[in-house]
Amino acid sequence: MSAGRVRLPNFRNLRTYRIDLLLILAGIIVLAGFSVFQQIILSTGVSVDLHLLGVPLDDVYIHARYAANLLHGFGYSFRPGYTLTADTSPLWVLLIAIGGLFTSRLELVAIVFSMLAYLMLGPGVYRVARDVFGFAEGHARLAGLAAVLSSRLAWSGTSGMETALAALLMLLVVEEHARSRNRNVLRAREGIWLGLALLLRPEFMFVALTLIVDWVIAATRRRANVAVAPIAITLAFVIASPMFLLPLIMRGSLISHSSVVQGAGISFIPNLAYLWFALKILTSNNAIIFAFLIAGIWLLSHKPQYYLLYIIALGLPLLQAFIAPQFRHHGRYFFPILPLIIILGIAAWQEIEQRMHPQAIIRIVAVTLISLAGVFETGRWAMIEAESVRNINDQHLAAVGWLRQNMLPTDTLAVDDVGAIGYFSHKPIIDLTGLMTPSLWSLQHNQDSVWGAARTMGANLFVIYRRLNPPFYADHKDSLVLQQEFRVRLPLASSADTTMSIYRVKGPNGR
């Protein structure tokens, strides 16, 4: 290089990823908006345990406690050394534990990982729509923007839960399968993505079975090359093996203890209330895209590449109506299908444009409505997330603060919600719901038996919701002395009660 000549950086690669970077920037703006809403809603009275950002669900602290125990060599456990399948996301626990090598604030690690997963969804949907499903550039960009402005995905990105990562893995699994089907050749990497997805959430079992059936059909009808199927299946099983082996070893069943507590079971009649619940969520996430999705059932019927997406996107909530429908956590158990919903909805809109050639003003109106629907709903969910964080702060973290100051070394603690209390207090805890104390699960039908068993274990300090299991408090209130109450500022985020109460047992030394 001649003297005095300065070599300018090559920005060609940056230009190649310009749209991806813009979508990431848009995602960062959304996350910043959620953070601002949190600070506004929290206002005063913030717990000393809430650093930078809070979480909207107590379950984040369960993941964090599992991760802390795993990191310190205590195995896959909530109570150190007692292996228990009360956390159905081993991969998420492992990731948080890895983050724990750099900081002890594992709840913040969970939030950062969920944010990173969310930020990858916009570019991911854009690339998959354009490169795999052949969207025109403008429609692919619209799909990416719709993913960024997907209210439930944005909520997932700040939740500290594994939901955003599950949505990302759903996208990656479908992308790999679609690419392989286009080549008519199964590739081993599909097994890797499926294994990771299964290790993250058990709902991916439905996806795995769907893809297997699709490959069987492809092999028999189109003579697809599935020679690596044994390798792909082995990879998926080996990677996902903790999901199956832990409950098998601990319970003699493939169903985790957490799934049992949450009502896992099969019904031959669908839960219609759950189907209505799922329909409302999918519609409200972006009403315009969902309307296009429904229209696409007819409009895209001549394009087989979308069949599998429809089966997964509509099949998962339908299957959940038969197997353990969960109304908890805003319906987050089917949020991972949202990237597929977006791709299908925009694909239907693109098909409408190609068939009908609407005037420019109509195209502008449609794009504007899609964007505004996303903006308004995402803004609403920023408020929902902030209110949920405030309620966790006002109840769970406030209870932690009280226990630190007032719990005696001789006290034995029994609680209804174990997450934050178990994570921050580092005390042995009896879980009255039976999630972390399995011996109490079989007694839930008789709250007098739960009381008796907890007392036998030494419980003399109770952190409960009076309305969660009314007989528990009503039948034993004469034995309890109220110590403190923590009320939420409505709207209610907890599924249990507006008031968390701490009671001490009457008698000498509170025992």
pLDDT at residue 10 in the model: 56
In this prediction, residues 399-412 reach a mean pLDDT of: 92
Whole-number pLDDT of residue 2: 43
Mean pLDDT value across residues 387-392: 91
- Would you state the pLDDT for residue 488? 81
Question: CB under 8 Å to 442, separation ≥6 — which residues?
Answer: 434
State the pLDDT at residue 490.
Answer: 67
User: CA 369, CA 143: separation in Å to the nearest integer?
Assistant: 13
DSSP secondary structure, 424-461, as one string = HH---EEETTSSS-GGGGGGTT-HHHHHHHHHHTT--E
In angstroms, what CA-CA distances link 307 with 125, 168, 180, 311? 18, 20, 15, 6
Where does the pLDDT of residue 91 fall: very low under 50, low under 70, confident under 90, or very high at 90 and above? Answer: very high
Task: Return the minimum-mean-pLDDT range out of 301-305, 439-443, 507-511.
Answer: 507-511
Q: Could you read off the pLDDT of 107-161 as tens digits, one per residue?
A: 999 999 999 999 999 999 999 999 999 999 999 999 999 999 999 999 999 999 9
Q: Residues with Cβ < 8 Å from 496, sequence gap 6 or more?
A: 416, 417, 465, 467, 468
Choose between 266 and 369: higher pLDDT.
Answer: 369
Give the range with max mean pLDDT: 46-50, 228-232, 421-425. Answer: 228-232
Percent of the chain with pLDDT over 70: 93
Using an 8 Å Cβ cutoff, are 410 and 487 in contact?
Answer: no
Digit-coded pLDDT (tens) for 249-305: 777 776 777 777 666 666 788 889 989 999 999 999 999 999 999 999 999 999 999
Whether the pLDDT of residue 3 is over 50: the answer is no
Question: What integer is the mean pLDDT of 154-180?
Answer: 96
Residue 294: exposed, middle, or buried by beta-carbon count in 10 A (0-12, 13-18, 19+)? Answer: middle
Q: What is the pLDDT of residue 80?
A: 87
What confidence category does residue 509 fall into, taking pLDDT thresholds of 50, 70 and 90?
A: low
Phi, psi for residue 262 in degrees, rounded to 5 = -85, 10
Residue 1's pLDDT is: 41
What's residue 267's pLDDT?
Answer: 75
3-state SS, residue 82: coil
Question: Mean pLDDT over all residues of the chain?
Answer: 90
Query: Which of 155-164, 192-201, 470-479 bottoms out in mean pLDDT, i.e. has the lowest?
Result: 470-479
Residue 88: per-residue pLDDT: 84
Is the per-residue pLDDT at 365 higher than 80? yes
In this predicted structure, what is the pLDDT of residue 329? 82
Q: Where are the beta strands (DSSP E) in 250-363?
A: none
CA 277 vs CA 112, 252, 272, 318: distances in Å: 29, 33, 8, 11
Task: Look up residue 158 and give its two tokens.
Answer: 């700040």
Q: Quote the pLDDT of residue 467.
A: 86
What is the reported pLDDT for 12?
60
Contacts of 148 (CB under 8 A, 6+ apart): 23, 26, 27, 30, 121, 122, 154, 374
Q: Which backbone phi and psi does 475 adopt, to 5 degrees? A: -80, -15
